[in-house]
Amino acid sequence: MNVVLKQLKQLGILFALIGIMITFTVLSPVFLTVDNLTNIVVQSSINGIIAVGMTLVIIQGGIDLSVGSLVAVVGVVVTTCMVQGMSVPLAIALGLGIGLLVGGLNGTMISRLGLQPFIVTLGTMSLLRGTALVYSHGDPIFKVSRQFRAIFAGQILGLPGPIFYLILVAAIGMFILNFTRFGVYIKAIGGSEEAARMSGVNVSRYKILTYAICSLFTAVAALVMVGRLGAAEPIAGSGFELDAIAATAVGGTSMSGGKGNVTGTILGALILGALRNGLTLLNVQSFYQVLATGAIILIAVSIDRFAQVKKS
């Protein structure tokens, strides 16, 4: 019965997405076309990829505010290195390595020093943004090689690169959460950290691992972004942390930890993406888009809360 309820809850988010899509289909003839729908998924992919990692962190009882700045650091460092002649595979490895390092650092400070995730990642958020600005002297970097762009923005297995990486990352996220010991530990730590510790879970190790994975996924998102734009900017990614948290929340993951799922988060990212896309098609001024995004987040979370209260 539990499983059925869970499914129903996800269907609720799905219905919200369908509702938004029907509305825009009625209002704009262009909305429901293959090109536009593909576009929505591509536009949602970077947020979606980051949000998968954010979901793991939030289920585990934490938060990561540093993801947006990390996108910028990975972007400018990888791009600069390639411009200076580093091979593409090595540059990709470097980008992913930076992700793991930053995540490991966040996780270590949070678990070993017992600092609060909000504060630690608020600190690294500024630190990383500063690093990106200093490293690039504030300038954007162009001339990303065609080879690199093909890997991240070209067609892969018949899919646009960003969509491919979104599916890949989401699959990894779901896999971790549902089929591994690590996934159970993430939920256990988020639900009752002390009980998890008393049950013999190595809490600090798995906390560090969770943040590392979140940052690794963020690095993937950064590479996809550089591939799509063909450039990197030190101011890129600002606000991405909030979008990722929004997608997670809209997707039904509990902000207090212990409960959540990746499918919901992906749907959440698509809802936000579809909303922005539709409003743009309708020529709604971008200021109003910001307003609408806020409203959607609050509505989605209220509906979720309402469903929870009814259930209990």
Interface contacts to other proteins, rule CB under 8 A: 1-3, 179-181, 183-185, 187-188, 191-192, 194-202, 258-259, 311-312
CB of 190 vs other proteins, minimal distance in Å? 8
The burial class, CB within 10 Å (0-12 / 13-18 / 19+), for 111 is buried
Least separation in angstroms between residue 254's CB and other proteins is 9
Choice between 99 and 183, CB closer to other proteins: 183
Helices (H), the chain: 2-27, 34-59, 67-83, 88-112, 117-136, 146-153, 161-179, 181-191, 193-198, 203-229, 240-250, 262-281, 286-311
In this complex, which beta carbon is closest to other proteins, that of residue 179 or of residue 288? 179
**Between residues 149 and 197, which has the closer beta carbon with respect to other proteins?**
197
CA 88 to centroid of chain Cα atoms: 24
Shortest spacing between CB 266 and other proteins, in angstroms = 22
The distance of closest approach from Cβ of residue 204 to other proteins in the complex, given in angstroms and rounded to an integer, is: 10
Residue closer to other proteins, measured from CB, 38 or 108 = 108
Helical (H) or strand (E) element with 155: strand 155-156
DSSP state letter for 232: B
Q: Closest separation between CB of residue 39 and other proteins, Å?
A: 36
Q: How far is CA 91 from the centre of its chain?
A: 22
Q: Nearest 5°: phi and psi at 160?
A: -60, 135
Report the 10 Å Cβ neighbour count for 177.
Answer: 21
User: At its nearest, how many Å lie between other proteins and the CB of residue 191?
Assistant: 4
Tell me 3's DSSP state. Answer: H
Nearer to other proteins, 25 or 202 (CB): 202
- To other proteins, the closest distance from the beta carbon of 188 in angstroms equals 5
Alpha carbons 299 and 51: distance in angstroms, whole number: 19
Q: Which is nearer to other proteins, 60 or 293 (CB)?
A: 60
The one-letter amino acid code at 89 reads: P
What residues does 156 pair with on adjacent strands?
159
Nearer to other proteins, 35 or 194 (CB): 194
Tell me the Ramachandran region of residue 258: left when phi exceeds 0, alpha when psi lies from -120 to 50, beta otherwise.
left
Q: Please check whether residue 177 is in contact with residue 262, taking contact to mean a CB–CB distance below 8 angstroms.
A: yes
Burial letters for 52-67: b for 16+ Cβ neighbours within 10 Å, e otherwise? Answer: bbbbbbbbbbbbbbbb
- At its nearest, how many Å lie between other proteins and the CB of residue 198? 5
Indicate the residue among 206 and 211 with the shorter CB distance to other proteins. Answer: 206
